Amino acid sequence: MKGVRTVCHGQPLAHNYGLVQTASGSGGRCVTPPQPEDGQGAERGRKERNMTDAPHAFENDVTIEQEVENGEVIYSAYADGKLIRRYPPSHARNAMVARQLATGALSNLTLNRDLLDVAAWFAETHPILPGHFSLQRYRFQTWHKVFSHIVVFSTPTVREQFEAIVGEAFRALGWQISPHGGSSADWLETPILTDISAHRRLSALGRVERALQAYRRSEK
């Protein structure tokens, strides 16, 4: 990531990783500003925006803010205005490292939330289909809204139907299922739904149903 010349109260600061100082003193904060595109960067940006099939990149959702506490720089990562993590110098030596760590954290948080929602939705809407499912995701897929496989544990007669229903729900939530191999994979098990409150189940049911309705309209 290119450095950005930053200014605080009219005084130039050192280059950094996409951060702009917005306050001075011990509680200084930094935010990521939009950067103009030119030349090859602009052409690349246009091509990326036109690639409607490209998976969503979680890095685009991350904003890094910098604060100084007790003489140490703390990097706070946000997405949609919500705090993801705070990284002290022992975890992130600069903003670029903090962004990389936060991107992975946001990706995992999003997939685990959606896994819970789809599992709860499926249990409510398809109670007669036996079995459960897990997800497989390769490490290189962590930066984007994509995973590799839905693994269904059920009888052979319903396994294909089970996978198709769950797959549509994940696609409706914006995920791509890309069954490419890799050297290292993570397995994500569905949570134990008996530990989830009725309110959380209803929230999941409504969220997935709304996403499916919008997805099906867009597919017509």
Q: What is the DSSP string of 102-131?
A: HHHHHHHHHHHHHHHHHHHHHHHH-TTS--
Specify the pLDDT at position 2: 34
SS3 26: coil
Q: Examine the pLDDT at 47 and tell me if it is beyond 50.
A: no
Please state the φ and ψ torsions of residue 13, each to the nearest 5 degrees: -110, 175
Q: Verify that 39 and 116 share a domain, yes or no.
A: no
Q: Examine the pLDDT at 79 and tell me if it is beyond 50.
A: yes
Q: Verify that 110 and 99 share a domain, yes or no.
A: no
Span 153-196, pLDDT tens digits:
999 889 999 999 999 999 999 999 998 766 678 899 998 888 89
- Residue 188, domain extent: 105-219
* 130 contacts 123 by C-beta, under 8 angstroms: no
Q: Examine the pLDDT at 9 and tell me if it is beyond 80.
A: no
Domain-ending residue, one of 104, 127, 150:
104
Q: Verify that 30 and 53 share a domain, yes or no.
A: yes
Q: What is the mean pLDDT of the chain?
A: 80
Return the structure tokens found at 174: 């914006």
Span 130-152, pLDDT tens digits:
889 999 999 889 999 999 999 99
Domain-ending residue, one of 104, 134, 156:
104
If we measure between CA atoms, which residue out of 57, 61, 49, 17 comes closest to residue 35? 17
Q: How far is CA 67 from the centre of its chain?
A: 24
Length, in residues, of the chain: 220
Alpha helices, H only, 126-219? 156-172, 198-219
The pTM (predicted TM-score) of the whole model is 0.74
CB atoms within 10 A of CB 195: 7
Q: Count how many domains the chain has.
A: 2
Q: Verify that 210 and 123 share a domain, yes or no.
A: yes
Q: Verify that 143 and 198 share a domain, yes or no.
A: yes
SS3 142: coil
Domain-ending residue, one of 52, 84, 104:
104
Q: Verify that 133 and 212 share a domain, yes or no.
A: yes
Please state the φ and ψ torsions of residue 155, each to the nearest 5 degrees: -75, 150
Residue 165 sits at the vertex; the CA angle it makes with 159 and 171, to the nearest 5 degrees, is 125
Q: Verify that 93 and 168 share a domain, yes or no.
A: no
Q: Examine the pLDDT at 107 and tell me if it is beyond 50.
A: yes
CA atoms within 13 A on the CB side of 87: 23
* 45 contacts 37 by C-beta, under 8 angstroms: yes
If we measure between CA atoms, which residue out of 172, 145, 117 comes closest to residue 57? 145
Specify the pLDDT at position 182: 67
Q: Verify that 138 and 33 share a domain, yes or no.
A: no
Q: Verify that 66 and 169 share a domain, yes or no.
A: no
Tell me which of 29 and 80 has the higher pLDDT. Answer: 80
